């Protein structure tokens, strides 16, 4: 099945709008060339919509200042204990408005009466996080390039960095703008380089807690006893988190994972350890950025780097900062990476269990083009498997809310009132995946009874607000076209009122699936 062999151009437009895009209120503007409409969107993403957006350097600075602000009442409490006993310490802590959690209180609550002058909520960090969430959703909801924005969502999930870890706050949005959006239609190697070196990734996967066992920093720490006043954990050796996740989640796939994961990773624990050694020295200059220095937010610090040659996947890499670029380029060209990533792309756009023949053609394009993502996507878009009329992919909560906003033509407005549009209530916190694996991309992960009921509640609330302002019957025809089933159309037609009709449309299988 291809756009040319579908029964009508409108049927092809419906597939293009909902399976590849993020939904449209009107199919007519897509025209008679749905495939051309999609291919024209294979380019770098346009700048995000929104104000108050900060780059990575500013994000690091704000988080560092937030931590500094958090430490002040603790320092004051310690001094109070030494001078006057525990009661005064408790008063200092209470006055500061501090809560138990690492991000609680200070970013959101006003100072209490009598609080020390230097203890204030660090509002700029909270505002940066809120602006990032709003910009991501508003851009997707209002964009005339919905395939571009869907690819941004896909790749941001593939290279997950998450607000679930406090140290990434102020950085996740910058990561998407700096490491993902410019590279969605270029060579995979360029996106991989940008993602792995970005301060958000280095912090999320603990590379700042890693140093070569034989590095100058570790040897210096081993020579001197720990000062009782020294703050924070010492860096005593390798942290393998980043190396393991780059191999397992970003490039080769799960070692020994088999066909269910798109192939075998083909690496060993020794490869993970050696890769971690290559990564030593790549750090975020937090102190300088906190002081306002105009420097890149990531740098190579030789004192933390493991000296000597490293061997990963049978290849030797010399000591120094060039080794990481060489290794990442090799991973981007590896056959297991082609299979793993092409399988994920096909799963995202076509089916939870994508056709092997389609994946094989995408792999072939990957090898021929050195992983040029626009060319790989062209192969996907031009494949007959991608145009099967039956929608089988279930929208995630984020996709459901974005497509609902696009259906109603609301643009950026809903996210001005509520930064995440109520997505968290549906079980998916924006930019806050629970693990480095990101959010699941299979229907059964989102079909639990509670998850379905939350969609009903969200749709009912949205319909109560908007149902009297739109004609759900006309909207269903204009947006879904030939995808609209007779039974669904009949239910909408027989609805008691506008809100009920709109709720039925939002909950219809034709709208919930793509």
Tens digit of pLDDT for each residue in 239-249? 999 999 999 99
Task: Note whether 267 and 313 are within 8 A (CB).
Answer: yes
- Report the alpha-carbon distance of residue 293 to residue 238 in Å, rounded: 28
- Report the alpha-carbon distance of residue 366 to residue 339 in Å, rounded: 9
Q: Is 68 helix (H, G, I), strand (E, B) or coil?
A: helix
Q: Is 125 helix (H, G, I), strand (E, B) or coil?
A: helix
Rounded to 10 deg, the angle between the 86-96 and 56-84 helix axes is: 150
- Report the alpha-carbon distance of residue 283 to residue 289 in Å, rounded: 12
Query: Quick one: pLDDT at residue 78?
Result: 62
Task: Note whether 503 and 467 are within 8 A (CB).
Answer: yes
Q: Is 129 helix (H, G, I), strand (E, B) or coil?
A: helix
Over its C-alpha atoms, the chain yields an Rg (Å, rounded) of: 25
Rounded to 10 deg, the angle between the 397-407 and 123-142 helix axes is: 60
Angle at CA of residue 110, ends 105 and 115, nearest 5°: 95
- Report the alpha-carbon distance of residue 186 to residue 42 in Å, rounded: 9
Classify residue 441 as exposed, middle or buried by CB count within 10 Å of its CB (0-12, 13-18, 19+).
middle
CA dihedral 448, 451, 104, 413 (to 10 degrees): 150
Of the listed ranges 71-85, 159-173, 226-240, 303-317, the one predicted with least confidence = 71-85
- Reported as a single tens digit per residue, the pLDDT across 439-485 is 999 999 999 999 999 999 999 999 999 999 999 999 999 999 999 99
Between 469 and 96, name the one with better pLDDT. 469
DSSP state, residue 394 = B
DSSP state, residue 72 = H
Q: Is the dihedral of CA 34, 39, 42, 45 positive or negative?
A: negative
- Report the alpha-carbon distance of residue 286 to residue 203 in Å, rounded: 11
Q: Give mean pLDDT, residues 76-96.
A: 54
Residue 98 has phi, psi (to 5 degrees) of: -80, 145
Query: Quick one: pLDDT at residue 224?
Result: 76
Helix (H) or strand (E) holding 136: helix 123-142
CA neighbor of 174 nearest in space, from 131, 228, 225? 131
- Report the alpha-carbon distance of residue 250 to residue 270 in Å, rounded: 18
Task: Note whether 195 and 250 are within 8 A (CB).
Answer: yes
- Report the alpha-carbon distance of residue 361 to residue 107 in Å, rounded: 50
Query: Quick one: pLDDT at residue 263?
Result: 44
CB atoms within 10 A of CB 495: 18
Q: Is 294 helix (H, G, I), strand (E, B) or coil?
A: coil
CA neighbor of 420 nearest in space, from 440, 438, 397, 437? 397
Query: Which distant-in-sequence residues (6+ apart) come within 8 Å of 243 by Cβ?
Result: 272, 273, 275, 276, 278, 279
- Reported as a single tens digit per residue, the pLDDT across 112-170 is 333 334 434 488 999 999 999 999 999 999 999 999 999 999 999 999 999 999 999 99
Distances (CA, A) of 461 to 402, 409, 453: 15, 17, 12
Query: Quick one: pLDDT at residue 500?
Result: 98
Q: Is 369 helix (H, G, I), strand (E, B) or coil?
A: helix
- Report the alpha-carbon distance of residue 406 to residue 423 in Å, rounded: 15
Length of the chain: 514
- Reported as a single tens digit per residue, the pLDDT across 233-275 is 678 799 999 999 999 999 999 865 444 444 456 899 999 999 9
CA neighbor of 385 nearest in space, from 437, 338, 346, 336? 346
Question: Is the pLDDT confidence value at 102 over 70?
Answer: no
Parse the chain into domains and list their residue ranges: 56-127, 205-224+231-333, 397-512
Helix (H) or strand (E) holding 176: none
- Report the alpha-carbon distance of residue 416 to residue 438 in Å, rounded: 26
Question: Is the pLDDT confidence value at 86 over 80?
Answer: no
Rounded to 10 deg, the angle between the 322-333 and 335-349 helix axes is: 60
Distances (CA, A) of 309 to 134, 269, 274: 45, 17, 9
CB atoms within 10 A of CB 141: 27
Residue 316 has phi, psi (to 5 degrees) of: -95, 140
% residues pLDDT > 90 (the chain):
80
- Report the alpha-carbon distance of residue 111 to residue 124 in Å, rounded: 15
Query: Which distant-in-sequence residues (6+ apart) come within 8 Å of 349 by Cβ?
Result: 19, 20, 380, 386, 393
Q: Give mean pLDDT, residues 213-241.
A: 79
């Amino acid at each position: 099945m291809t756009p040319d062999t579908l029964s009508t151009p409108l049927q092809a437009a419906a597939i293009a709008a909902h399976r590849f895009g993020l939904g449209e209120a009107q199919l007519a503007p897509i025209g008679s060339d749905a495939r051309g409409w999609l291919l024209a969107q294979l380019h770098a993403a346009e700048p995000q919509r929104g104000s108050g957006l900060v780059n990575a350097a500013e994000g690091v600075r704000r988080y560092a200042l937030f931590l500094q602000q958090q430490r002040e009442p603790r320092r004051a409490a310690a001094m109070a204990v030494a001078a006057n006993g525990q009661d005064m310490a408790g008063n200092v802590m209470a006055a500061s408005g501090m809560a138990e959690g690492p991000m609680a209180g200070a970013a959101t609550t006003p100072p209490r009466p009598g609080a020390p002058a230097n203890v204030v909520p660090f509002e700029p960090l909270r505002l940066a996080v809120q602006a990032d969430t709003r910009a991501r959703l508003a851009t997707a909801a209002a964009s005339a390039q919905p395939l571009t924005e869907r690819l941004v969502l896909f790749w941001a999930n593939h290279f997950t960095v998450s607000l679930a870890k406090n140290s990434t706050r102020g950085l996740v949005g910058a990561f998407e703008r700096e490491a993902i959006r410019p590279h969605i239609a270029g060579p995979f190697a360029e996106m991989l380089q940008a993602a792995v070196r970005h301060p958000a990734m280095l912090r999320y996967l603990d590379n700042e807690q890693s140093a070569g066992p034989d590095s100058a920093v570790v040897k210096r720490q081993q020579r001197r006893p720990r000062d009782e006043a020294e703050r924070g954990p010492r860096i005593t050796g390798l942290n393998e988190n980043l190396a393991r996740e780059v191999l397992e989640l970003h490039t080769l796939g799960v070692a020994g994972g088999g066909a269910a994961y798109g192939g075998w990773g083909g690496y060993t624990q020794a490869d993970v350890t050696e890769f971690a050694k290559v990564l030593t020295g790549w750090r975020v200059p937090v102190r300088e950025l906190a002081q306002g220095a105009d420097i890149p937010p990531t740098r190579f610090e030789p004192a933390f780097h493991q000296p000597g040659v490293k061997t990963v996947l049978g290849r030797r890499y010399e000591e120094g900062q060039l080794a990481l670029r060489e290794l990442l380029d090799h991973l981007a060209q590896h056959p297991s990476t082609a299979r793993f990533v092409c399988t994920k792309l096909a799963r995202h756009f076509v089916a939870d269990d994508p056709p092997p023949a389609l994946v094989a053609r995408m792999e072939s394009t990957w090898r021929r083009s050195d992983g040029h993502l626009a060319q790989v996507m062209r192969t996907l878009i031009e494949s007959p498997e991608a145009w099967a009329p039956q929608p089988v992919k279930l929208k995630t909560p984020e996709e459901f809310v974005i497509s609902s906003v696009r259906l109603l033509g609301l643009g950026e407005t809903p996210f001005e009132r509520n930064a995440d549009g109520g997505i968290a209530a549906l079980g998916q916190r924006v930019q806050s995946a629970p693990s480095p694996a990101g959010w699941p991309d299979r229907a059964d992960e989102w079909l639990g009874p509670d998850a379905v009921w939350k969609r009903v509640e969200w749709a009912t609330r949205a319909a109560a607000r908007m149902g009297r302002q739109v004609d759900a019957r006309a909207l269903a025809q204009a947006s879904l076209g030939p995808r609209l089933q007779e039974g669904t159309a009949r239910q909408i037609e027989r609805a008691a009122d506008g809100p009920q009709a709109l709720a039925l449309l939002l909950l219809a299988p034709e709208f919930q699936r793509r």
